[in-house]
Every structure is written in C-alpha cells, then in structure tokens.
Amino acid sequence: MSRRCDVTGAEPSFGNAVSHSHRRTRRRWNPNLQNHRYWLPSERRWISLTLTAKALKTVDRKGIEKVVAELRNRGVKV
C-alpha cells in the first residue's frame, strides 16, 4: 500500500533529523492516513478510501458524492 491520500494526494516528505550535536541523518514525515469506508447512495455500494485527517474533513464538508465525482474526473478508479 502506498502512503498516499486518495483525495489530496499527500505523500511522505523527507528531510534531516538534526541531533543536539548537529549531526544529520535522513528521516521522513508520514501523512496522517486513515482508512475509511463510505456508503455511496447513488451506486448502492460501499467504497474504501485511504485519506488524511484533512481529507476526512473535506469529505464531510463537500459530501462523498462530490468527492467521488472529482476523483473520477482526475481518472482515479473508485
């Protein structure tokens, strides 16, 4: 499973962890991904999406039907 949000496209970012002695080692910041299941009334079926916490709020605000329509316009199979 890739660590990518289905709605926002957020993925891990990379950088350096800097210690007290200022020694640098590589690290990564992972997005806050949540697996969530939504009921699509128009298709009478459940869909599973991997979303960031921010995208969960976006779905709550816009509605699942509109978000799925935007995903399909981008060419994402839902």
pTM beyond 0.85: no
Q: What CATH number has the domain bearing residue 34?
A: 2.30.170.40
The answer as to whether 3 is a domain residue is no
The answer as to whether 50 is a domain residue is yes
The answer as to whether 65 is a domain residue is yes
Indicate the number of domains in the chain: 1
Model confidence pLDDT, tens digit, residues 3-40: 999 999 999 999 999 999 999 999 999 999 999 999 99
The answer as to whether 44 is a domain residue is yes
Whether the CB-CB separation of 5 and 17 falls below 8 Å is answered with no
The answer as to whether 7 is a domain residue is no
The answer as to whether 58 is a domain residue is yes
Model confidence pLDDT, tens digit, residues 60-76: 999 999 999 999 999 99
What is d(CA 67, CA 60) in angstroms, rounded to the nearest whole number? 10
Q: Which domain holds residue 35?
A: 13-74
What is d(CA 78, CA 72) in angstroms, rounded to the nearest whole number? 7
